[in-house]
């Protein structure tokens, strides 16, 4: 499971209307000041959250929270070589995949990035300080079950497959967002009373009210939960609850609560931190920090359902196996 987890994402010329909210251009002067006309930090734009830093600290680095510059260079080179999908040497590969054919995507399609975090951290998890997710016994079992479905052969119907394969949610879009194999971009829009978080992966858009309204009742559950936001100084705080149990973030249950923090530290950097809490899954709350870099390019459409022959072939293959 650890291997799977380690391998496991200006100025607007147009008006964007989402849920009757219109997003207007930000003036040039406001852009220079990194502040909106209504006086809060301007975090709009496209942000790239690629990094080679794993979510959890690798076992062989258990006593090392940070790498030296030389160690970081070696780690990056080894990680890039291990993930090089153009290799045809039959060496051991992520997820236990071993044959040439099963390296279906060549290197052109992968976009993990080329570096670890600027501070050379050995994990995105910053609390607990050991860099590991503090699972309960039941939570670890659910996480292992999640990866068994993701990489397993159960395919009686589409509902047996992971939600990413079904084009419901992207495997890096969360919430919370985590870097992964490709499409590690998010675009943020702002008004005085609303923020929209649009992920490139499966083009999922979260509309986050900032007007102080209450959360939905606990009986209303959603794939991405129910988010409410507020500003605390220079940081946007987004609290999310009311998740569906099927969302299953690394083994979580419907009891999961998420707090995200977005802090723009300079013109090109947005620090994204999240804290997760779910007593049925983790022994304590835990926090990860993911640096985001301003991307001058636009998002591409992620047409997941169109041409999704993989699901059709997967189910057809399972039917053939049943007849043997």
Span 223-242, pLDDT tens digits: 899 999 999 999 999 999 99
Low-confidence ranges of the chain (pLDDT < 70): 1-32, 88-104, 146-154, 246, 248
Cβ-contact 310, 286 below 8 angstroms: no
Q: Which long-range contacts (CB under 8 A, 24 or more apart) does 12-16 make?
A: 12/44, 12/189, 16/189, 16/196
Distance CA 249, CA 247 (A): 6
- Position 8 scores a pLDDT of 35
Domain spans in the chain, listed from the N-terminal domain onward: 2-9+40-322
CA–CA distance, 236 with 197 (Å, rounded to integer): 12
The two structure tokens encoding residue 102 = 């099963």
CA pair distance 175, 229, nearest whole angstrom:
14
Cβ contact 163:246 at 8 Å: yes
Q: How many beta carbons lie within 10 A of that of residue 101, not counting itself? A: 6
User: What is the C-alpha to C-alpha distance for residues 267 and 246, in angstroms, rounded to an integer?
Assistant: 37
Residue-level pLDDT at 5: 37
Q: What is the pLDDT of residues 20-66, one digit of tens each?
A: 333 344 444 444 579 999 999 999 999 999 999 999 999 999 999 99
Residue 1's pLDDT is what?
36
Q: Which of 25, 53, 45 is nearest to 37 (CA)?
A: 25
What distances in angstroms separate CA 145 from CA 8, 71, 142, 148, one per listed residue?
15, 34, 5, 5
């Amino acid at each position: 499971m650890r291997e799977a987890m380690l391998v496991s994402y200006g100025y607007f010329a147009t008006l964007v209307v989402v849920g009757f909210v219109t997003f207007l251009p930000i003036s040039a002067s406001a852009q220079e000041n990194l502040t909106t006309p209504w006086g809060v930090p301007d975090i709009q734009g496209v942000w790239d959250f690629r990094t080679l830093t794993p979510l959890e600290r690798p076992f062989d680095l258990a006593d090392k929270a940070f790498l030296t510059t030389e160690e970081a260079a070696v780690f990056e080179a080894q990680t890039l070589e291990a993930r090089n999908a153009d290799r045809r040497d039959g060496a051991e590969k992520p997820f236990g995949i071993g044959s040439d054919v099963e390296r279906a995507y060549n290197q052109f399609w992968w976009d993990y990035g080329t570096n670890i975090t600027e501070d050379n951290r050995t994990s995105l998890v910053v609390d607990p300080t050991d860099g590991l997710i503090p699972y309960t016994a039941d939570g670890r079992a659910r996480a292992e079950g999640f990866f068994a479905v993701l990489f397993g052969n159960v395919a009686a119907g589409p509902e047996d497959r992971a939600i990413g394969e079904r084009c419901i949610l992207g495997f890096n879009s969360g919430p919370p967002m985590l870097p992964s194999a490709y499409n590690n971009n998010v675009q943020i829009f702002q008004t005085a009373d609303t923020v929209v978080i649009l992920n490139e992966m499966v083009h999922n858009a979260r509309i986050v009210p900032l007007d102080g309204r209450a959360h939905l009742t606990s009986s209303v559950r959603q794939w991405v939960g129910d988010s409410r936001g507020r500003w605390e100084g220079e940081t946007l705080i987004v609290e999310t609850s009311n998740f569906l149990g099927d969302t299953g973030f690394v083994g979580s249950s419907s009891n999961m609560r998420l707090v995200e923090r977005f802090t723009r530290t300079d013109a090109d950097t947005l620090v994204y931190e999240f804290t997760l809490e779910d007593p049925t899954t983790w022994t304590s709350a835990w926090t990860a920090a993911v640096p985001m870099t301003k991307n001058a390019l636009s998002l591409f459409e992620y047409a997941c359902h169109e041409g999704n022959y993989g699901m059709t072939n997967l189910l057809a293959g399972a039917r053939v196996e049943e007849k043997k």
